[in-house]
Structures are given as C-alpha cells and as structure tokens.
Structure 1
C-alpha cells in the first residue's frame, strides 16, 4: 500500500468557493452493506483501462521546498493538466506561483478549462480535499493572454498570497494552448516579481520521493468487462492506484531527462463507468486501503443528474483506524448510466476500492 502521510493542523486560509450536493454518510448496517464482508478479500470486477487526454505535469518534489527556485517546468502544446503540491519548508514567508512563459515572437492564448485550488494552510488533508472538490465542481472556462516573448500568471491570486512556513498549496489546472507554452512552478520571496525572478531561477533538486515529471495520458478510463449483477455477483470491488491491478504512470522529468514514476497517480483523473443489470438495484461505496483519506467524487447518473460529494461527506477524512471504513456514494437502479470521476487527492493515502453491493431489501 502506498503511504504518503502529511501533517494535519489548522484550517484553510484560501480556497475557491463551491456548491456541492452531499450524500449522507451511513453506517454499514444502515446502508445495507454486509457487515461481515472481508474487504481485503472481495472478488474483483474485471476491468479494462485506457489512458487518454493530454500531458500531465506533476510538481510535488521537492514537496517540502527548502529554498527559492523552480520546482518543475516543461513546455506543453494542446491539452495538459498541472498538479502542484508544495510546502514552504523555509523559515520565511514565501509565495508559490505558476508562470506561463511564451518564447515565441507572437502572442498566444492559454485556455483554463477546469481548476481547483486549496491552501495555503497547515491542514494538509483539508487542502488536498478542497483542491479536488473545487476542481470537480468547476465548469467555467477562462482565457489567459500570454504576450510575445513574455509571461503571464496562471493563477494571479497566488502572486498576492503569502505562504507562511510549513504551509501547503495544492492546485489542479486543466489548460489548452495551440502554441508551445512553458509552464513553470516556483517558490520565491513575497515581494519578488515572478517574471523577473524566473530569468535567473534554478531548478531545485528532487527529494527522495521524486514525484515530479511529465506523463502521457492525463485521464484514465475504467470500464468493467462484464455487467455487474448485484443478485448473482454479490459484493465486488474495483481496486485503484495500487500499482498491481492499476499501475502508476511513468514519464520523464523534463528538468533533467530522467525517467520517473508517479507513485499514487496524483493528477490522473479517473473516469469509471459502471454497467449494471436491469432491475437489480445496487449500492456503491469508496473504501480507503492505505490510511487517512480525504477527497471528493463527481457522480453523473442517468446522463444528466450530477453531484459532487465529499469522501467522506460528514467529516474531513476517514480510514485512519481501520481498513473497513466506507463512504456510501449512493444507491442506484440497475441498467442506468453511472459515471464516477475522481483523482487521488493530495496528502491522502492509497490505494482505494470502489465497492459494489446489493441493496438490502426492506
């Protein structure tokens, strides 16, 4: 199991406001989940996996940023996603920003399709959850003009946000550009101009986790290869982000050309489709397998009913004391379209299981 534990402290300072529909958390008995189920030995629903979409840029190393400098940078064209997750590990206030650099002689535009931002703050689990919930709830499209031979900020608010020592900032941004644009994540002094700072900034060394790089296929589609029938199949699971059934994506660290592995698939957006038998109702749960977990889930039911719920919805995190914790994601009618969208949240532990179970008859 992947264990990437972070500190938990006080609440968030800056987040993007969202409106979500929360499903009530339920005990196993109330939800109809079989309490005697051994969640470690559930039968796996066979699935096919397909990676799609543009490049994923991951900037999470050094996670604890020890000095001013560039944490990651690479040039992208087309669709891309940036996931950055950094803590100010100095003893001075800093800011953590993302700069878009256009080296061409003509201006270009960068479209921001979707985004989520959490922090800065000391409650690392809360920040990872906020970034994911915000991302899943956003539907707005923004446009950033990057001048010829010039720069622009991906998120201007970060240039005005002070990150105190030991505070974390976590962001997820989907962008599109028709022309090459360099994406630069960096930490710098509070009063420094990012456009001036980047000219002489150096790339910081990675930490032991080496969680940075550029990876092909920022979206992973998960589709069972058989229809789930709650009456015949009983309780079944789909295990994600365990590096066995669901492997971690490999890529290249563009700062030095070395090969890298995204332990945890942070920044990868999972889109899970669940084909089910007609007239056989069922329930869906999320079960964390590696420890403390705090995230969100977007649910699209019957092609048009959408909601975003916290996992868990009634508290910040779960999974710290037992591997049998579950978040109830709802009961559904068999034979109807159901999509689940989520991504491994920053500061949380993996893997996770999506569990399908018969609905208890009343």
Structure 2
C-alpha cells in the first residue's frame, strides 16, 4: 500500500544562509501540512546535531542532506549524514562526487540547473559535465515559489522531458529553496513522495522517502495531488508511478488518473473552473480532457503503448491569477525505448 507524503526537499537554516532555526523550519513545515522535510544547508551538515530532538518535538521527519555549493553548480545530496568534501572536484569530476554519495547509500540531484548564475548567484547555473545521466538520481525541475511560471523552471522541465525521451529514468522533484518564511509568501510547490505504508519511527519514514525519490515514486503540485496507475487491459496487475511495464504486442494500456483536491486544501486556493488534464509521452500528448476543479478519477485507454516509452499526467488551470501548469506526475515507464 502506497501513502503519499507531502514533502519539501530543499531548505536552509542559520547554519548556512537561511534566516531560520531548524525548530522554526520544522514548525513552519508543520503549519503548512508538510509531513517530511530535507535539510540541505550549503556545504555543511552541522544542523543535524539537532535532528532527532526537532523531529520528536514537531513530529516532522527530517531527511539528512546538504546542498553541494560550488562555482560550477549546486547538487543536492539526500540520505547522507557524513560530510563529503567537494572541493577537489573540477567541472569534469562531478561523477566522483556522485559515486561517494552512492557509496553512503544516498542520492544525488541537480538543484535549479537553469537559475541565473554568476555574478548574481555564484555557481547557481549548472555547468558540470554529466558523462552518464544514469548516475543522476533526480533533478529539481521546479524551483522557488510559484515555480511553474518561472522561465528557469520551464527550461529544467523541458530538459528533464528530453532526457526521458532519450531513455533515461530520472526523477523530477520541486524545491522551494526555503530560506525564510513570510506570511505573504507566494504559493510554493510540494513534492509528494509515494512511500510504502508501514508502521515505523520517523527516521524510518525519512529513509523510505529517500527510496521513493530513488524509485521515481513522486508527484509534484502547487495545489491538488495528482497520481496515476496503469494496467495492461485484461490483466489485474497494476503499475504505479516510477514502475516499468513490458506490454506484449497488441496490448492496450489502461491509465487511471486520480485528482485529490481535499488533501492540504487549506493551504492553497483552487477556484471553480474547467481544468485541462493531459496524458503525455515521448510522442507528445496522448490524451486531453477537461475536468472540474474537484476530486475525481479518469481512465484513458492507450493503444500500442510500447511506442510511448513513458507516460505522465499533467494538470493545467488558473492558480494565483495565472494560467499555468498546476501539477505533474513522474512517469510510468514502458518497454520500447532503448537506454543509451
């Protein structure tokens, strides 16, 4: 059984350039209905000395992390609680750093790859050479507040889509890059992590959250939760986001998309309207339907699914007086693309 956990994966405290203590961050997260956060201070993990105490105090599991901040780009490392030194790495050496993260059982993701760089934001623009995209676990395709209207996030989303089309399996997440909380903040995105629902301590949930990102069990939204599952017609086995289907010739694929407009509904405003729900693939838009701005379930039949390579759901509508993408899922992958 999968439970969808609302999370924030990119945060900062007073231990780097944030304006909040870990306690203030955890309290703000709880106030926003978040059930998990990753603490990713720049080039330090000193804040983790308070991790266990703050988790217990506020009931918000904390993923140990760090933002590897260099002149050539910023990389987020999650699930690693031992400092990994980045200073010896040049622009062609990032895979050595990723290898060290993986050796510790962690995951590595590219932060805000198209954020404006030097001299405005030193090193924020990604310039490292990626020799093998299979080694990158995830990409922060939506960054900062109200991300889908930002040009740098749109470029990152397009880059991720291009990598999917090339046959890579890379998870997409959002990251608020949370430095300070203000009452008049614009709308943040939330990364929902599909974790296996088990009894356990908060630390265990944090570990399962990291695994969800590694497996691609992720949905991203500025409002309602968008999820999907698929099954080959005539077969009872269901496949969820991040999983891989191998249909036979002549099979049809039934994709069921769920929209949950109740979860965290107090933390965003979705006006009554007609929303556009798309199912997309490497071939472009497979299906487009108009749906009300309320919870619902919709099933789409795909013929010749092996030609699609992957499918994901996308939701468009008006939020905060902007017509924009509101939410998207990570893909369900389909046999038919040869990885590089």
Is the shorter-chain TM-score for this pair beyond 0.5, marking a shared fold? no
For the pair shown, the structure with the greater C-alpha radius of gyration is 1
Larger strand proportion of the pair: 1
TM-score normalised according to structure 2 size: 0.31
